[in-house]
Structure 1
Amino acid sequence: MAENSSTADTRTTQTRVVVIGGGYAGTMAANRLTQRRDVDVTLINPRPQFVERIRLHQLVAGTHGAVHDLGDVLAPRVRLVVGTATRIDLPRRTVALGTGARIAYDYLVYAVGSAGARPDVPGAAEFAHPLATLEDAQRLRAALDAAPAGAAVALVGGGPTGIETAAELAEGGRPVALVCGSVLGPYLHPEARLALAGRLSRLGVTVFDGPGARAAEVRPGVVRLEDGREVPSTVTIWTAGFAVPDLAAESGLATADGGRLLTDETLASVDDPRIIAAGDAASPSGLPYRMSCQAAIPLGSLAADAVLARVAGTTPKAVSPGFVGQCLSVGRRTGLVQAASTDDRARKAFLAGRTAAAIKEGVCRSTYRGLLFEAKRPGTVNWALLTDGRRRHLLEAARREGLAPVRPA
C-alpha cells in the first residue's frame, strides 16, 4: 500500500500493521514501524510484560527481576493487545485470538519467538522443569524455594541456558550437576570450552559430558544417563533445545526447520508477501539464523524496514545480519565471551573472567535500552550494521545441493 497524504478519512489512508509477539524481535519491529504517521501498529502478546529472556536464569536464582511492563517498552503509538493469536486467516487478512476476537491487518509481522522443545526422554515431561518462558522460570523459582538449600539440582542441556543457570545456582550455594550430553558448550571453540569447564569446576558444578553422558531417563530424585550412571536430583531442570509455536503451520503457511515460517531473503513469507517474519520463528530460504537475542533484534529491525519499504511502494532489501560471538555469564562475578566470524562460526579468540562478565552485563543492558531508545526515536537504532558476507555463498551452495527451497529476492 503506497503512502497517501490525504487526511480526509484516516480509515482509508492508514496502513494497519499487526505484530504477533512482544519479545526482542517483535518489540523492536513494533517500535520501528511507528516512524510513519500513516501506519497504525498493533502488537499482540500473551502477557502484558516484556521479558528479558536472556536474564531468566537470574530470575530463577533471584539476582534479577527480568520483567518490565511492556507498555513502558513500547512506543506511545503502538497499541498493545494482550491475548494469544490462534490462527492467521490469509484471505481475510485477520488474526484470530483465543478470546474469539479478530484483528485485521494490511501487513503482519510474525515474531512469535520460541519455547522449550518437548523432551523425548522418558520422564522428562513429568519430572523436569523447563526453562524457556517467564512462566517456566516462575514455576522453577517456586520449586527451588520449596526445596531444602542443600538439595541436589541437575540441569539437562549444555547450551547457554543450562550453563548460565547452573553457574548462577552454584554461586548461590546449591549443589549443581550439569548433564551436557556429548559436549559442554557446543558452540564454543575448544580452548574457550576448557576455560569454561575450569570456572564451572571452581563454582562446584559437576559436569557430565562425553560418551554416555546423555540423559536417558528422568525419575523423581534422579537423572539416569545412557551409560547407566545416575545423577541425584531433587529439582531437575530441562534446558535441552528450543521449538517454535505451530501458529504458521496451523494457518496453512509454508514452514521449515521444525515450524519456522519459510520466507525469502527479504523475510517475506513465500505464501504471502504481506506477512514478514522476524526472530526465532523465521527461516529465510530455509537457512535460519541461530536462535538468539543477537539475531532477533536485527531481524526485528529489518522486518520493520521491509514493511515500511512495501508501504512506500519500494522493494525491500535482502537481509544478512552478521554475528560477533556468544556471551555467557558464569555466575555474577565472571563470564566468557566467545568471538565469532560474521557468519556465526566460533573463532579461537575468547575472553574469560571479570571483564567478560562486565561485557555480558553490558550486552544485556544495551539490548533493553536499545528497545527503549527505538520507542522514543523510531528509526534511529541500527542493529543491522554488521552483515554476514558469506551468506550469499551459503545460499548458492545450498541451492546446488537442493537444500535451499527459496531463491534470494
Structure 2
Amino acid sequence: MAHATRMAHLSCGVALAVTAVLAVAGCTSGGAGAAQTGTGAASTAPALTTAQARQVFDSYVSGSEAAARTGDVALALSDVTGVQRSYVTATFEADRYDHVRLPYPYYTYGRPVFYLPAPAGYPRFFVADVSRVLAGTKLSDAIATQTAGVTVPLDGNVLMLFEQAGHKQPWRLASTSQLTAGTSLPPLATNGGGHVLALPLSTGTLLAPPDVVGPLQAAVVDDGPSSPAASAVANGPLTTGIYQAARTFVQGIYPPRGDVLQWALDGADYARLALRTADGGALVFYSMYLNTTVEVPAVLNDAEPVNPGPPITVPADLMPLLTLGQKAPRVELEGQDLLSFAAIDPPAGSAKIQVIAIGGGLDYASAS
C-alpha cells in the first residue's frame, strides 16, 4: 500500500508552520478585539452571562432529545451548525438505513462548566465542559466507537463549542469534542469579570500561531513521527495514533491486492477559537477533513486506460452515504470524515502541542 503525497497547498502551509515553530522567530502578537476569532468583524457583541449560556445549553439538550425520540431530523438540525450539523445528518441517515427503532440514541448530561469569552466581534462563542452518558447505559459499560480509526469512548467529558453567527442569529452547537482518556483542561486565564480571554488566531507568543496548529497536526497524521512537525507536536492517539491507524485502515477501508491506499488530513473552514490558558498558552478549537481513498494505480497516476481491479469491500458505516444498492466498487472508494479537535498550544519555548479532544465523524462517501 502507498500513502498519497499531501496536497501542495497543505505542504506549503505545513512547511511554513514548521519553519516558524523551529525558528521561534518572525511572529508578532495580534491585537485584541474583533480579530480574536479570525473573522475581522468590526461590531462588538455584548457580554454573555452564565444564565444565558445555561439557557442555550438546556435548549439544545431538550431539543436533541426530542428529535431523537421522534426521529425529527428538522428539529435535530435546527440547533446545530458546522461539524455538528454534518455529524447529526450522517447519524440520522445511518439510524434510518439500519432501521433503528425510535427513540434513536441520545445523551444525558451532567452539570456543565461554562467558559465565556470576553466581548468581541461576531461570530461569538462559548464552551461547555460537561460529562455525558448515552441514554440507557452506564459509564462502566465502557462503550466506545471508532473515529478516524481511533477508539473513542461514547461516554465521558466533552467540550461543546456553541456559536452565534451574527446579531439576532440563534445560538447553535458547532462541535462536540470528546476528551481523550486521562485528559483534563488546563486552567484558563480570565479577566476581572470572570470571562476567559480569547486570542487572535495569528498570535505569535505561542509555540505555534493557533491557525497553524491544524496543519502541524496534519503533517504528523500524514507522515508520522518522521515528519519535521513531530518536533512541535506530541505523540498521542489523535496524532501518531491516527497515522498508525491510517497505515492499516481508516473507516474500515481495506485495499485489495494491487490497489493503493491514500489518506490526508486537510483543513476545514468551520468555527475556530483560541482561549488563553493560565500558563500563557492557548486552548485551540478547529476542524479538519480526513480523506481516505482506495483506488487502482491508474487513477492515482492519471493513466489510461483505467482498468477495474478486484472488488473493494465497502464498510457498513459507509453504506448509508452511498447510493442504495451500490455494488462493490472496483475502481475507487472514498470516505471523508469531518472532524473537530481541541489542542493545547503551549507558550513559545516550552512543551509540544497536545491534541486532546476529537469529535465529528463520517461526512461523505463515493464509489465507482
Name the TM tier (shorter chain): under 0.3
Query: How does the TM-score come out when normalised to structure 2?
Result: 0.23
Query: How does the TM-score come out when normalised to structure 1?
Result: 0.22
* Higher Rg of the two aligned structures: 1
